[in-house]
Amino acid sequence: MKKAIIIGITGQDGAYLAKLLLAKEYHVIGVTRSAKKHNFKRLEFLGIDNSIEFVEMPQISFNQICDILKKYNPDEIYNLSAQSSVGASFNIPIETVSYNILSVINWLEAIYTTKPEAKFYQASSSEMFGNVSEQVLPLKESNIFCPASPYGVSKASAHWITINYRESKKVYTTCGILFNHESCLRGDSYIVKKALNTALKIKMGLSKTPLILGDLSVRRDWGYAPSYVEAMWLMMQQEVAADFIICSGNCISLKELIMLIFTKLDLSFDKDVQIDPCLFRPLELETIYGDNSKSKDELGWSYNLTTEELIDQLILDETAFIEWELKK
C-alpha cells in the first residue's frame, strides 16, 4: 500500500486529491493547522473524513516535519497548503509571503535530510506569470514569471526553491502550474463558487441577497477541480520529474461566465448582480490562459470540458452541496 501525505488536506484540492488517492488504495495522511471537526466539511461532504489519518501542525515546525516523515515513511508528499487568496494577499502580504514560502522550504529541507527518496508535489499557480502581453498567450511552461500580487510572488519563490531541490539535491520534486479550477468545495469567497451559491439560493427561494462582485472584465482560464487533481497524481508517477501547466485552454471574461450561470438558471443578471468597487484589486491580471499540450502529451492527462459543460457540472455539484448543507 502506497502512503501519501497531503498538506492542506482540508482545502478544495486536498479533499478531491484525498478521494482520488483513497480510491487508488493509498494510506492517506492529512496535515492540517487544526484537526477540529469544523475544518473537515469538505472531507465530510465527500464521505472520506473517517478514512484519513490526521496530523495537526498549528505552526510550521522543521522538527515536527522530520518526525512526521520518520513516523509515516511516505512515498509521496503533496503540498497544497497555502494562503491561497490573491485578493487577501494584498491585505495580508506578510502572512501570505512568509507562510507560502517558509512552509515549502521547511518541507523540502526535511525531506532532503530525512526521506530523500520521497516525491514532492508543489502547488504552483498561473498567478506567477502576472500580466502578460496578448502575443505570448496561451502561456507555456517556458514563459517567464512577472507576478502582480504578493500571492504570485510567494508562489513564484516557492516554485523556484522546489526546482532548486530537484536540480541541486536530486529530490524528486514537481510543480503543477495550475490555472483557476473550481468546484462546490472552493472557498466561499472565491468568485465562481460565490456566484453559483448565491444564484442557486435565489433560484431555490432560500435567499434574496444579490450577488456582489468586483471587476467583471478580467478574462480567465477556468477548469474543473476534480479533473485537475488527477494531473497532480500523474505528475508524481513519472520516471523523471518535471513541471507542468494544468489548464483548460479556454478563456472567457468573468462577466460572460456569470451571465452564463444566470441564463442557465433563468435569473436576471441586471436585477441580481451588483458591482462593489471595494472588491476591485489594487492590481489585476487582465487576460490569462494556458496551453495544456505538455500535460496532455507527456502525462496522458485528459481534459476536454468546454466552459458550458463546466458550468453545467458546477451547477449540478453546487445544488448537491447546498442540499447536503441543508440536511446537516
Residues in touch with ligand NAP (CB under 6 A): 8, 10-14, 32-34, 39, 80-84, 95, 99, 123, 125, 178, 180-181, 187
* Closer by beta carbon to ligand NAP, 14 or else 150: 14
Q: In terms of CB distance, is 119 or 193 closer to ligand NAP? A: 193
Q: Report how far apart the first and last C-alpha atoms of the chain are (Å, whole number).
A: 34
Smallest separation, CB 32 to ligand NAP (Å): 3
Task: Please name the residue that has the C-alpha cell 461532504.
Answer: 45
Comparing C-alpha atoms, which of 151, 60, 182, 77 is closest to residue 121?
Answer: 77
Residues 6+ positions from 284 with CB-CB distance below 8 Å: 148, 215, 218
Specify the residue, 49 or 272, whose C-beta has the smaller distance to ligand NAP.
49
Which of 118, 123 has the CB closer to ligand NAP?
123
Q: In the complex, what is the shortest distance from the CB of residue 179 to ligand NAP, in angstroms, rounded to a whole number? A: 7
Q: Least distance in Å: CB of 268 to ligand NAP?
A: 28
SS3 326: helix
Percent of the chain that is helix, strand, coil (3-state, to 5): 50, 15, 35
- Residue nearest ligand NAP (C-beta atom): 11
| Pairwise CA distance, residues 196 & 198, whole Å | 6
Contact 219, 252 (CB under 8 A): yes
Q: Residue 202: which residues within 8 A CB-CB, separation 6 or more?
A: 208, 209, 267, 272
Q: Which residues are catalytic?
A: 125, 127, 151
Distance between CA atoms of residues 220 and 83, nearest Å: 20
- Closest CB 297 distance from ligand NAP, rounded Å: 21
